[in-house]
Amino acid sequence: MPLILTPINHERKCSMKHKPSAGAVGSDLIRKPIRRMSPIFMGPMVIAFIIGFVWPFAHGLYLSFCKFRTTSDATFIGFGNYLKALQDPTFLHAFWYTALFAVVSLLLINILAFAVAYALTQKLKGTNLFRTVFFMPNLIGGIVLGYIWSMIFDGILSKFGTSILLESQYGFWGLIILMCWQQVGYMMIIYIAGLQAVPGDMLEAANIDGASRWQTLWRVTIPNIMPSITICMFLSLTNGFKLFDQNLALTAGQPFVFQPDGSVVKKTEMLALNIYNTFYGQNTSARGVAQAKAVLFFILVATMGIVQLRSTRRKEVQQ
Amino acid sequence: MKKKRSIGRSTLTFLLIIICIIYVMPIVMVVFNSFKENSSVKTETFMPPTAETFVGWDNFVTGITLGGSFWESVFFSVFITVVSVALILLCTSMAAWYISRVDSKLCRIIYYLFVFSMVVPFQMVMFTLTKTAHTLSLDTPWTIPIIYLGFGAGLASFMFVGFVKSIPLEIEEAAVIDGCGPLRTYFMIVAPMLKPTMISVGILELMWVWNDYLLPYLVLDRTEYMTIPIHIQYLKGSYGTVDLGATMALILLSIIPVIIFYLLCQKHIIKGVAAGAVKG
């Protein structure tokens, strides 16, 4: 448990701009010689960070206000891209589709993961084997997972003369099943760590006071593992919103519905895939819009994390 | 009372066994279908290969040459993953030590930027990062680890800084008094103490880089270099009629090393995941 909690507590300290904890203040004895070596210690990291993050981020932010096909022919146009992005029916469809997906997968993954973790902390035989099996799908990449499951779903659906690509309902639930298969094991590990940290004397006290199993679960266990629940909800929600590989490999947005105005609504296309398709689709003049969508997507994912952390944190047991 | 409990427990075990079997089924299906002829993959997906549909190693033989050499993709995947993870571990841990010991205003700004980069989705920087990589000719497997170092810096340095802060300063002070320079202090004193965190960070970054599809797909020159996920996507995406049997054979080839690695280092992997759960 401390493994999970330390970084979060630490982040909280930073965001409140408190002065750093005692351990962080290096003595001058150490600080001075290290400083002289700063090109060695910080140089490679900072250069790579600027190439790999700072510059692309700043440039991307700027380009979202520009009309461009390549990065060199950008002309500043203000908020036009954002207006276009928000009026784009495919983007709005992708947003609601992703939101629905994220909420459903959040609920299912967390309920299943908690149930499995609870079962695996009852000191049953073979617990280690079960844990090993449940976690395994996590190591397989999203593209490969998508193709494994598309084979399975098509194997079932072809018996009924249909395919996962033909009906958006199948695509939706197919992706939910795939994500549960992949993520339940991951969340289970976090829940197990939380469950093992519940103080034994509290459970014993509840037992002596005559609490039923159900009461103990709701009144003792769950309040004690609120930090784990917070983390898992946060993780599964953002994972749902950021999903790309699995979406691409399983349905790639199919089935497509052609609108009377010539645009195409891809029924199972999620936000990340929609942004990707706008960037690298046929219409290269839409790249400014794509970048604006990407900025909106970034704001959404970042604020969601912060809001959710704040709202669930209040329910945590003070220790 | 006791009997009732033991019945409950055996039902629970029984239930878990069933879930377990369902859980490994998809993998079993991959194994079945990689030995079946292409046309029967779709019609009899859930049947084990029979005398008529069994084709031996044919799927593997056609698979490894389909759409470019598969071994080449394996090599690039291994190379990129190993070099990127090594680079990330070395550079971020050094930077993290510097940040927490020097603790100047600039250091804190850099640290906040690292933390900030953790919540930024890849789509935000996708286009400009690709352009930057092409401009600086970082678009080969030999140079792409630099991109991974830059984009993956957030989580790694966040975890390292968190751990370095818990190391007592006195140990390093003693080393300095005994005449150790910063480099020697780092490699002889600090790095060995960071080992548990290094393993956790290493596992997380390994899982990310090995399975990553979009970043190498956009950055690398696809006509020359492919990684395993790109190769598999290419097989499915660009052919009119997909050879499902061969695709399953390649999928099997690509997940066998992962499963072996997982079974060998399970303890570390599960610990690393629990430690890195803060990642957004």
Q: Which residues, 6 or more positions from A112, have their beta carbon under 8 angstroms from its beta carbon?
A: A180, A184
For the ranges A102-106, B65-69, B249-253, which has the lowest average pLDDT? B65-69
Classify each residue of B9-48 as buried b or exposed e, where b means 16 or more C-beta atoms within 10 Å of its C-beta: eeeebeebeebbeebeebbebbbbbbbbbbebbeebbeee
- Predicted confidence band at B147 (pLDDT cuts at 50, 70, 90)? very high
- Predicted confidence band at B43 (pLDDT cuts at 50, 70, 90)? confident
**Residue A309, pLDDT score:** 58
Residue ranges in chain A whose pLDDT is less than 70: 1-26, 262, 305, 308-319
CB interface of A with B, residues 134-153, below 8 Å: 134-144, 147-149, 151-152
Q: Note whether A207 contacts B: Cβ–Cβ < 8 A.
A: no
CB interface of B with A, residues 50-79, below 8 Å: none
Tally of CB atoms within 10 A around B65: 11
Mean pLDDT of B95-122: 88
Q: Note whether A34 contacts B: Cβ–Cβ < 8 A.
A: yes
Residue A204 sits in a domain whose CATH number is: 1.10.3720.10
**Residue A15, pLDDT score:** 39
Same domain, yes or no: A57 and A88: no
Same domain, yes or no: A51 and A157: no
Q: Cβ-count burial of A222 within 10 angstroms (0-12 exposed, 13-18 middle, 19+ buried)?
A: middle
More confident site: B265 or A15: B265
Residue A265 forms beta bridges with which residues? Answer: A257
Q: Cβ-count burial of A297 within 10 angstroms (0-12 exposed, 13-18 middle, 19+ buried)?
A: buried
Same domain, yes or no: A227 and A295: yes
Cis peptide before B182 (omega within 30 of 0): no
> In chain B, pLDDT over 70 holds for what percent of residues?
95
**A5 falls within a domain:** no
Residues A120-156: pLDDT tens digits? 888 888 888 888 889 888 888 888 998 889 888 888 8
Same domain, yes or no: A265 and A195: yes
Total beta-carbon pairs less than 8 A apart between chain A and chain B? 317
Tell me the three state secondary structure of residue B57. Answer: coil
The reply to whether residue B150 touches residue A141, judged by beta carbons under 8 angstroms, is no
The reply to whether residue A35 touches residue B102, judged by beta carbons under 8 angstroms, is yes
Same domain, yes or no: A109 and A26: no
Count each helix (H run) and each strand (E run) in chain A, helices first: 16, 4
> Tokens 């976690």 map to which residue?
A135
Q: Note whether B258 contacts A: Cβ–Cβ < 8 A.
A: yes
For the ranges A5-9, A72-76, B4-8, B13-17, which has the lowest average pLDDT? A5-9
Same domain, yes or no: A144 and A237: yes
Same domain, yes or no: A253 and A296: yes
Q: Decide if B88 contacts B205 (C-beta within 8 A).
A: yes
Give the span between the Cα atoms of A23 and A9, in whole angstroms: 15
**A75 falls within a domain:** no
More confident site: A2 or B17: B17
* DSSP secondary structure code for residue B49 in this structure: P
The reply to whether residue B162 touches residue A7, judged by beta carbons under 8 angstroms, is yes
Question: Minimal Cα–Cα distance from A311 to chain B, Å?
Answer: 16
Tell me the three state secondary structure of residue A266. Answer: strand
Same domain, yes or no: A123 and A232: yes
Mutation target among B17, B42, B44, B127 for the A interface, most CBs of A within 10 A: B127
Same domain, yes or no: A139 and A38: no
CA dihedral over B36, B38, B39, B42, signed as positive or negative: positive
Q: How many distinct structural domains can be found in chain A?
A: 2
The reply to whether residue A275 touches residue B103, judged by beta carbons under 8 angstroms, is no
**Residue A11, pLDDT score:** 38
* DSSP secondary structure code for residue B43 in this structure: H
CB interface of B with A, residues 195-254, below 8 Å: 207, 210-214, 228-229, 232-233, 236, 244, 247-248, 251, 254
Q: Decide if A187 contacts A110 (C-beta within 8 A).
A: yes
**Residue A305, pLDDT score:** 67
More confident site: A12 or B91: B91
**Residue B118, pLDDT score:** 83
Note down the domain range covering A207. 84-313
**A68 falls within a domain:** no
Mutation target among A16, A53, A310 for the B interface, most CBs of B within 10 A: A53
Residue A66 forms beta bridges with which residues? Answer: A76
Same domain, yes or no: A54 and A121: no
Helix (H) or strand (E) holding A256: strand A256-258
Identify all chain B residues contacting A116, using CB atoms and an 8 Å cutoff.
16, 19
Give the span between the Cα atoms of B195 and B163, in whole angstroms: 10
The reply to whether residue B13 touches residue A124, judged by beta carbons under 8 angstroms, is yes
Same domain, yes or no: A131 and A231: yes
Identify all chain A residues contacting B122, using CB atoms and an 8 Å cutoff.
242, 244
For the ranges B46-50, B155-159, B227-231, B253-257, which has the lowest average pLDDT? B46-50
Length of chain B: 280
Mean pLDDT of B132-148: 89
**A193 falls within a domain:** yes
Same domain, yes or no: A156 and A249: yes
The reply to whether residue A3 touches residue B271, judged by beta carbons under 8 angstroms, is yes
Task: Look at the pTM and tell me if it is higher than 0.90.
Answer: no
Residues A191-238: pLDDT tens digits? 988 888 888 888 888 888 888 888 888 888 888 888 888 888 888 888
